[in-house]
Amino acid sequence: MASYLLGISCYYHDSAAVLLEDGIVVGAVQEERFTRKKHDASFPARSISYLLRERGVTLREVRAVVYYEKPFLTFERLIETHLEASPFGLRSFLASMPTWMKEKLFLERLLKRELAQLGAGPVPELKFSEHHLSHASSAFFPSPFADAAVLCADGVGEWATTSAWRGQGADLTPLWEIHFPHSLGLFYSTLTAYLGFKVNSGEYKVMGLAPYGKPRFADRMLENLLQLNSDGSFALNLRYFAFTKELQMFSPALEDLFGRRARRPEELLEPFHMDVAASLQLVLERALIPLARELRRQTSATRLCLAGGVALNCVANSKLLLESGFEDLWIQPSAGDAGGALGAALAYYHLAEKGERRVCHGDAQKGSYLGPSFKAVEIESFLRKNNVPFQKLTQEDMLSETSRYLDEGKIIGWFQGRMEFGPRALGHRSILADARGAELQKTLNLKIKFRESFRPFAPVVLAEDAPEIFEFDRPSPYMLFVAAVRPELRVPLAPADRTKFGIDQLNVVRSTYPAITHVDYSARLQTVSRDRNPILAQLLEVYRQRTQSSVLVNTSFNVRGEPIVCTPEDAYRCFRRTEIDVLVLENFIVTKESLPPSNQSEDWRSEFELD
């Protein structure tokens, strides 16, 4: 009889649940996808219900529920940090305490009450993992490595902000930790806030903004903000950071350092902001590479696993791959706190219960396609119920039709199989488009995604074709690395284009795939193979037969501020509100031109807060 463990993360941000069957992940989903509230932190009741239903088990059959961190340790940090800051910090202390007194100090009781509401019978045993152990487990145990060093870097979890581990077989040994407030994640988040973007969601935009600027402030940052030590460790200069005692990330000293007040949200982005972003990105890389090199020296391991929010910085990941001395790198695709739910369950299974670990070829993450899927009968019923005109095709015809639409420059809402676990859409809940279109980046940003025009789009390409197009020599199934477009595919710049700077660089055609080539010729690469994603691989093959190219734009199926679509209904609603031309739900095709004009009162802006 199969044995089940449930991992959960919630009450901070990105709540999620994961189900293990005999130590193998069989389902994982973030609560935001059901509640349609981005970064939803509430108890993942709907996620758990889905996971149990999908597997046909009840909560009674689950052996234990593992929560991804230890709240008492976080509380200890809060008390000690505020005592150290006193008499300052009273406001932030009083602001944070109600949540703690009402919920988090009584977390065990709260979790048991929530779990009890999910089903009849006794609630399974409740266990707690440590935050960075959860991250480290999520990085090592699903990886394809039997032996590896593990590096976790995030904002903060309990006390730790950075931690190093050694993974061998089914064992994971802690090596060292760097503690709050010295944090690379909070360093990056603080400058993200200074640049007018939201903490915990805008970091990705800063990374995309960086190539537009010049890193002229990097030395100033290293002299004043972040001290890098010879052993790879680092320390923040707290004079410039306010997050230890105030309800904001940076102090006025940071504005004085740059000689400019902080940018307000949605204000014009100037070359200054791009230069700060470029400097920040460079400084992050300069901090991470020595850390990884030191870990390589200490462990002699040849493989490295990464997790924690900082590991979502794919530009830094690529630098680590090239410069850290490790031969190979595996990164947990759900590297943020949602992935902590997976790590917590895996840590309990392997470390507490001594469960066996089977190292899988590729990895044990199953392409991260671990969420809900919908049967043809459910999709057809939805379409009929809503009087949506559709074509029901064979898979072969659907692929051929979709390929034709893409070749004609149409933008496709692509909905197939199980939803992705993690922040990236990997070809099951994606918007796809022709990467050869020169105007496509602008159209997609402003008319489909309704997001900032500077943001780049990622390419998806057949794995076997990737080396001919990108300077990258290995699979990148999770879109966690960047790679340069090969020089022979680049377009020589006109003299007038060479002198452009800032956002003006955006409209310059730089390669035969302008929609996915960033201003520095980089692209956030996803490679696709038949074994991990057969349906998308087949689409790319059919598209290649037609166009001699297997490169498409792949961006998440949502608008700005909206969680990635989960159900056919979410997908249809997003399709109606945007200028997506064609919706492909499994083998059903809906075209915009077959529908009456959309009801303008259905404005997504009133529903989703801008991120």
Q: Which of 538, 572, 557, 560 is nearest to 609 (CA)?
A: 560
Closer by beta carbon to another protein, 91 or else 384: 91
Q: Are 342 and 349 in contact (CB under 8 A)?
A: no
The binding site for another protein (CB under 8 A) comprises: 12-13, 39, 41, 70, 72-73, 76, 78-79, 92, 94-102, 104-106, 108-109, 155-156, 180-181, 186, 193, 198-200, 243-244, 247-249
Q: Dihedral of the CA atoms 138, 139, 145, 151 (nearest 10)? A: -140
Task: Evaluate the omega torsion of the peptide bond into residue 122 and state whether it is cis, within 30 degrees of 0.
Answer: no
* Shortest reach from residue 597's CB to another protein, in Å: 36
- Work out the number of other CB atoms within 10 angstroms of the CB of residue 126: 17
CB distance 285 to 130 below 8 Å: no
100 or 272, CB closer to another protein? 100
Tell me the closest approach of the beta carbon of residue 434 to another protein, in angstroms: 37
Q: How far is the CB of 85 from another protein (least distance, A)?
A: 11
The full DSSP string for 559-611 is: -TTSPPP-SHHHHHHHHHHS---EEEETTEEEEGGGSPPP-TT--GGGTS---
Alpha helices in 348-452 (DSSP H): 376-385, 395-407, 440-443
**How far apart are CB 78 and another protein at their closest, in Å?**
6
Least separation in angstroms between residue 123's CB and another protein is 16
Q: How far is the CB of 72 from another protein (least distance, A)?
A: 4
Shortest Cβ 9–another protein spacing (Å): 13
Sign of CA dihedral 542, 529, 17, 122: positive
The rounded distance, in Å, linking the Cα atoms of 274 and 206 is 8
H runs (alpha helix) in 120-230: 131-140, 184-194, 203-209, 218-224
Indicate the residue among 92 and 138 with the shorter CB distance to another protein.
Answer: 92
Please tell me the distance from the alpha carbon of residue 610 to that of residue 606, in angstroms, as a whole number. 10
Say if CB 385 and CB 296 are below 8 A apart: no
Nearer to another protein, 40 or 420 (CB): 40
Considering beta carbons, is residue 68 or 472 the nearer one to another protein?
A: 68
Nearest approach, Cβ of 399 to another protein (angstroms)? 41
- Closest separation in Å from C-beta 262 to another protein: 14
Is the Cβ of residue 108 or residue 439 nearer to another protein in the bound state? 108
- 186 vs 448, beta carbon nearer another protein: 186
* H/E element, 77: helix 71-85
Beta bridge partners of 235: 227
Alpha helices per DSSP H over 324-443? 337-347, 376-385, 395-407, 440-443
Q: Closest CB to another protein among 106 and 446?
A: 106
Report the residue number, 322 or 610, with the smaller CB distance to another protein.
610
